[in-house]
Chain A
Amino acid sequence: MAVAVTDAVSDVGAARRVSAWHFVRLKLRVLGNNFRGQGWRVGLFVLGAFVGLWFAAFGFFLFAAPGLAGNDQYATLLAALGGGLVVLGWFLLPLIFFGVDETLDPARFALLPLPRRTLVTGLFAAALVSVPAVAVLLAATGLVFTAGVFGGWPAALTQAVGVLAGLLLCVAAARAVTSAFATMLRSRRVRDLAAVLLAGAAALIAPVQLAAAAALQDADWDRLAAVAAVVGWTPFGAPWTIGIEVAQGRVWAAPVKLMITAFTVVALLLWWSRSLESAMIGTASSGRTSTRSPATGTAVTQLFPRLLGWLPRGRFGALVAREARYWWRDARRRANLITLAVVGLFVPVMLNLGSAGLTGGGGATESSSPVLVTLSMVFVGVLAATTLANQFGFDGSAYAAHVVVGVPGAVELRARIAAFSLYLLPLVLLISGVLALLVLGQPGWIGLTAGSLLATFGAGLAVNTLLSVLGAFSLPETSNPFAMNSGAGVARSLLAILSMLASAVAVIPMVAAAALLGDVWLWLALPVGAAYGLGAALLGAYLAGDVLDRRQPELLATITPRR
């Protein structure tokens, strides 16, 4: 009997080899089945495709501009820097904002007798079938056009090959990076290392931004072209500049640049395939070392973190304590928190330093106006609050416990806001301090920065609390904190845009006050901003709590992942 079974297996193996095409078809089928009977999903997908097309068109004309203008002077510059930005985006954006589409969860393939190589190429091919990938491909045809204008068919053809290689590079980068970070964030030992790495990655943006700003300021196109030429020889720019090289007569450069790209893609895929294995086993155990150390203290004392011992021992206190524990213990939430900290610190610094560079003034102090500072704080506050836009999605079906108990909506939302603020308020104060002291060199502006941040944060919380009740969506139950359901990426972006718009509108008074009131505002900003933020958050929790009371079961249904 055993023999027969082995025979059967080898029969199957001989009869059909699993190719990447199977994975692509599987993904398309899963996508199609997800749409079945779910009008809103189709709507989201169409919207996503539309936005993708819009970006593709924009990118196409940008890349095709040298060809259309008939001037090849800046062709390399556009191709290398534009393409480099695209690759950088594929590296960083999945980590910071979008996550990766995990329609095909690697863990589902753990039991199938597939060689790792087949699995990686298959999942890779399936990952290529996505709106962003198609958008990049369409945009990059602009490069093919440009190459064709200057170099004729040979250049266009080489560039076409280069574009395809570049696309492979982008997708491989996104997969490898998210998978590796997911693995790191799961394991306790290197979790903090992952945070530092992420910070480093985000910090990379700063010098790029500064260089760009400085270059724009001097309008020194030739120097920029020199930078572009260098970037063109790195994996970031190599695939996008092949056609131009051929057109400009450096045919020998084409195979070398192609080699650079191919080498990078292979390296990324190898990296991915290493972390993939842990992702596949990861669902069986969450990777946390189980501590069998005996519990000390009573059940209630154990629930409350030591720092939060002062919380009331009631409904509100329990909710805050649990949320506070979850923001750290749940990998998905932790990933959000870490990226938020990194982006929240770097963007305002960049923005204010950059503006100093842009306007050409000597020091940052002269060029940074209260309005600009307020605006950059608005950005951070809104971004921070947006983290809560799908706060119930983090809980998934565990939220059923609250429905069974019948937790009053307003209490629940106030507690969630409070727990998140426990992490965010120190960060907010740190950011405003850093900005006022180190970047602007104006200690007196701490009130302004902190006040603007608090006001925006509060207003953003109010908006996002309401959104989290009305626009929640389910997150996949995988071990990858960056994984998204297909279509959820669009939903998430929509939510984020909505919440950013609404929160931005809500803080118009703060910006107006900064513009109109002059120096008095430097003193008033902190108390007014804090009061404004607190009031807005409480009002939001009250209003959204009412909605939540009426639609608890519906909310539970939307955040429970379909299995």
Chain B
Amino acid sequence: MEDWLALADYGLRMTAEHPALALRGLVKRFDAKMAVAGVDLTVPAGSFYGLLGPNGAGKTTTLSMAVGLLRPDAGGAWVLGHDVWADPVRAKQLLGVMPDGVRLFDRLSGAELLAYHGLLRGMDPAVVNQRAAELLDVLALADAGRTLVVDYSAGMKKKIGLACALLHGPRLLVLDEPFEAVDPVSAALIRDILTRYVTGGGTVVFSSHVMEVVERLCSHVAILADGAIKRVGTLDEVRGEQTLEQVFVTVVGGRTATGEELAWLSR
């Protein structure tokens, strides 16, 4: 019993020392607007972490600072113990990222884009070829052939973006709105791949404002509003007795239509 406790304690300290992603005091200000006002977040290795928040809460800004796309005004980010801003090379090797609202190099075809990403990461061409073919096949993109990514549908663009993030076998995946504008079939496919990735020892952090997806997938949840973390913990800790949606609406606060306004819509 004592041994077991010691072991558990050791394990806890290990994860405490090297969480998959650690954010400390992240601050970002755009002109007069405080976009992110001091975010602390610890994502344990092996977790499926959902970052929830209404539009404009600072989700994208936070994740951009976490992966090295946007320099924070204060604070820092660590990927498995490697400082993203001080030791970017090591941190970025362990990291797979799918940003939202960012273009891909979309004048390449899907296969070309994957090859490009793989070689940029310094991977062996043979490995790139094999993984690219497999990813295109699994994500049902192989049929697209030489179609340029710019001509892909929104769902296909998400899928090829995910493939680019997965190609080098990262230990941590950071996905900004992976389920936005994706049809149910593709969404199920993406969910499936991510679940398998976590089961295999990877860690996923993703942002969303769709409660359903988060409730179904995540082991941990953080609710972000007005640039600050409002609730954080395991899924059960955060939602308690209520549904996640109830908690979210309470935390974020919002108005519900009374039926008085917009009367002209129902004439």
Interface residues of A (CB under 8 A from B): 1, 4, 8, 37, 285-286, 288, 290-295, 298-300, 302-303, 313-315, 317-319, 321-322, 325-326, 329-330, 395-398, 400-407, 477, 553-554, 556-557, 560, 563
Tell me if A318 and B115 are in contact (CB < 8 A).
Answer: yes
CA distance A401 to B114 in the complex (A): 12
B97 at the interface (CB under 8 A from A): yes
Asked if residues A295 and B111 are in contact (CB atoms below 8 Å), the reply is: yes
- A300–B69 contact, CB under 8 A? no
Minimum Cβ distance to chain B for residue A82 (Å): 43
Q: Interface digits, B66-93 against A, CB 8 Å rule (1 contact, 0 not)? A: 0111110000000000000000110010
- In the complex, the answer to whether A300 meets B107 with C-beta atoms within 8 Å is no
Please, which residues of chain A bring their CB within 8 A of the CB of B125? 300, 313
Residues of B within 8 A of A (CB): 31-32, 67-71, 88-89, 92, 95, 97, 99, 101-109, 111-112, 114-122, 125, 128-129, 132-133, 136, 143-148, 150-151, 164, 264, 266-267
Residues from chain B with a CB closer than 8 A to the CB of A315 are 119-120, 122
Beta-carbon contact of A404 and B69 below 8 Å = yes
Distance between Cα atoms of A117 and B31 in the complex (Å): 40
CB-contact partner of A397 in B67, B103, B108, B111, under 8 A: B103
Contact B133 A299, beta carbon cutoff 8 Å? yes
The 4 A-B pairs with the shortest beta carbon distances in the complex, nearest first, are A318-B119, A299-B132, A299-B115, A298-B129
Q: Say which residue of A4, A325, A401, A563 sits within 8 Å of B104 (CB atoms).
A: A401
Q: Which of A294, A325, A400, A553 contacts B99 (CB 8 A)?
A: A400
Could you tell me if B69 and A322 are in contact, using CB atoms closer than 8 angstroms? no
- Closest-by-CB residue of A relative to B92 is A406
Q: Contacts of B101 on A, CB cut-off 8 Å?
A: 397, 563
Quote the shortest CB–CB distance from B93 to chain A (angstroms).
Answer: 8
Q: Which residues of B contact A300 (CB under 8 A)?
A: 115, 118-119, 125, 128-129, 132
A317–B115 CB distance below 8 A? no
Name the CB-closest residue of A to B95: A404
Closest residue on chain B to residue A296 by CB atoms: B146
Not counting A292-B145, A405-B117, A557-B70, a sample of 16 additional A-B residue pairs whose C-beta atoms are within 8 angstroms of each other reads: A285-B151, A288-B148, A295-B146, A298-B132, A299-B114, A302-B109, A303-B112, A313-B125, A314-B119, A319-B120, A325-B108, A400-B69, A400-B99, A402-B120, A406-B89, A553-B70
Residues of chain A contacted by B105 (CB below 8 angstroms):
322, 326, 395, 398, 401
* A37: B residues at CB distance < 8 A: 31-32
Q: Are A326 and B146 in contact, with the CB atoms below 8 A?
A: no
Q: Which residues of B have CB within 8 Å of A303?
A: 108, 111-112, 115-116, 119
Residues of B close to A395: CB separation below 8 A: 105
Is A4's CB under 8 angstroms from B67's CB? Answer: no
In the assembled complex, which residues on chain A have CB atoms less than 8 Å from the CB atom of B89?
A: 406
| B266: chain A residues within 8 A (beta carbon) | 1
**With A295-B145, A556-B69 as given contacts, are A288 and B151 in contact (CB-CB < 8 Å)?**
yes
CB distance from A125 to the nearest CB of B (A): 32
Residues of B within 8 A of A288 (CB): 148, 150-151
Whole-angstrom distance from the CB of A42 to the nearest CB of chain B?
Answer: 14
Chain A's nearest CB lies how many Å from the CB of B205? 14
User: Are A404 and B97 neighbours in the complex by a CB distance under 8 Å?
Assistant: yes
Interface centre among A37, A318, A321, A563 (most CB of B within 10 A): A318
> For A317, what are the chain B residues with a Cβ–Cβ distance below 8 Å?
119
Contact A406 B68 (CB under 8 A): yes
- List of A residues within 8 angstroms of B129 by Cβ: 298-300
Contact of A314 among B97, B117, B122 (CB under 8 A): B122
The answer to whether B146 touches A405 (Cβ under 8 A) is: no
CB atoms of A294 and B145 under 8 A apart: yes
Distance in Å: Cβ of B230 to nearest Cβ of chain A: 27
Please name 10 pairs of A and B residues whose Cβ atoms are closer than 8 Å in the assembled complex, sorted by A.
A4-B267, A285-B151, A295-B146, A299-B115, A313-B125, A395-B105, A398-B105, A398-B106, A403-B68, A553-B70
| B111 & A325 in contact (Cβ 8 Å cutoff) | no
Pair B116/A322 contact, Cβ less than 8 Å? yes
Least CB distance from B11 to A in Å reads: 31
Evaluate whether A404 and B151 lie within 8 angstroms (CB atoms) in the complex, with A1-B267, A291-B146 already known.
no
Which B residue sits closest to A329, measured CB to CB? B107
Residues of B within 8 A of A322 (CB): 105, 108, 112, 116
Q: Assess the A286–B151 pair: CB atoms within 8 A.
A: yes
Contacts of B133 in A (CB 8 A): 298-299
The answer for the CA separation of A330 and B105 in the assembled complex, in Å, is 10
Contact A404 B119 (CB under 8 A): no
Contact between chains at B108 and A293 (CB < 8 Å): no
Q: How far is the CA of A317 from the CA of B118 in the complex (A)?
A: 12
Cα A96 to Cα B212 in complex, Å, equals 53
Chain A residues lying within 8 Å of B32, measured Cβ to Cβ, are 37
**In the complex, A398 Cα to B266 Cα: how many Å?**
43
A561: min CB distance to chain B, Å: 10
Cβ-closest chain A residue relative to B88: A406
* Cα-based distance from A37 to B31 in the complex (angstroms): 7
Complex contacts, B151 vs chain A, CB 8 Å: 285-286, 288, 290
How many whole Å from A162's CB to the nearest CB in chain B? 46
Instruction: A398 to B106: give the CA distance in the assembly, Å.
Output: 8
Q: Which residue of B lies closest to A553 (CB)?
A: B71
- B106 CB to nearest chain A CB (Å): 7
Query: B124: nearest residue on chain A (CB-CB)?
Result: A313
Q: Choose from A293, A313, A557 the contact partner of B145 (Cβ within 8 Å).
A: A293
- Judge whether B102 and A400 touch: CB under 8 Å: yes
With both beta carbons as reference points, the residue of chain A lying nearest to B135 in the complex is identified as A299
CB distance from A423 to the nearest CB of B (A): 16
Distance in angstroms between the alpha carbons of A557 and B73 in the assembled complex: 14
